[in-house]
Amino acid sequence: MLHSRSTYTISDQHKSFYQKNGFIKLKEVFNKEEVAEYNRIISKCVMKMKKEDTPLEERDTYGRAFLQLFNLWTEDEEVKSLVFNQKLAQIATELMGAKGVRMYHDQALFKEAGGGITPWHADQYYWPLSSDKTITAWIPLQETPLEMGPLEFSAASQHLISGRNLSISDQSEEEIGAKVRLNNFQHVIEPFEAGEVSFHCGWVFHRAGSNRTNQTRKVMTIIYMDENMRLKTPENSGQQNDWETWCPGAKVGEVIDSHLNPILYGEKPDRYIPTLSK
């Protein structure tokens, strides 16, 4: 099992780019050996947990986009070694300008061979969180060419209010796509090298193309929030579900501090690595 404890140098230029554009791609966060090992352990866990057996052609747009599995860190100690990786948490903390970050949840996003698009959306539509101090690490588990459907960004679109009320759907693909084009936000579509990781904020609009290869596009994501994030009153059913699922026992107006939301980086080292209880 890999135990990467090194740091990644985040420059003022990195911070400025992220704050302006709502995302950043960073090369060589992991080496090829680490990527291969994480691919192995995440893939093993996904195969153990997955329950979807409906043929692609019989699924809706969301279902064709990817296999989606959550909080793998609670299922497997090796997966936890990636999800609790201090380098990733350090990057997330510095890009956001926070003092520390805690876990919101993780999710594996496996876009099968022939899998469809991931429509335009903003993640924070689903989150009952009181501020925009959120960031997601998008970690490809292999080199990801354009044909495989890498993550695409609408640079600086986190400032666009219109479209925040839309869940991931055919409607969001059409309406948000039209809005970001109308407002001339730069559409960034680039391949990912092995070991390259992107970070994006909760309100930046993003999508992914279809997987036109004969291999599964394997991605692990980790969602971080400011260590002092408070729960807000849910505004839609998705936020209500997230409260109950990812923040059990949290109370509106109070810091989200459940057993599923440990501090991963900051000034409280005794909180970093809780023991899994099975």
Which pTM value belongs to this model? 0.92
**Residue 172: predicted pLDDT:** 96
Q: How high is the pLDDT of residue 97?
A: 97
Position 30: which residue type?
Answer: F
pLDDT score at 59 = 53
What tens digit of pLDDT does each residue of 146-193 get? 999 999 999 999 999 999 999 999 999 999 999 999 999 999 999 999
Contacts of the segment 230-234: beta carbons below 8 A, 24+ positions apart: 230/129, 230/130, 230/131, 230/254, 230/255, 230/256, 231/128, 231/129, 231/130, 231/256, 232/128, 232/129, 232/130, 233/128, 234/128
Rounded Cα distance, 261 and 243, in Å:
12
Mean per-residue pLDDT for 221-236?
Answer: 98
Instruction: State residue 270's pLDDT score.
Output: 41
Both tokens of residue 37? Answer: 């090992």
State the pLDDT at residue 87.
Answer: 95
- Domains in the chain (CATH in brackets) are 23-260 (2.60.120.620)
Mean pLDDT of the chain: 91
- Taking residues 118-128, report their average pLDDT: 97
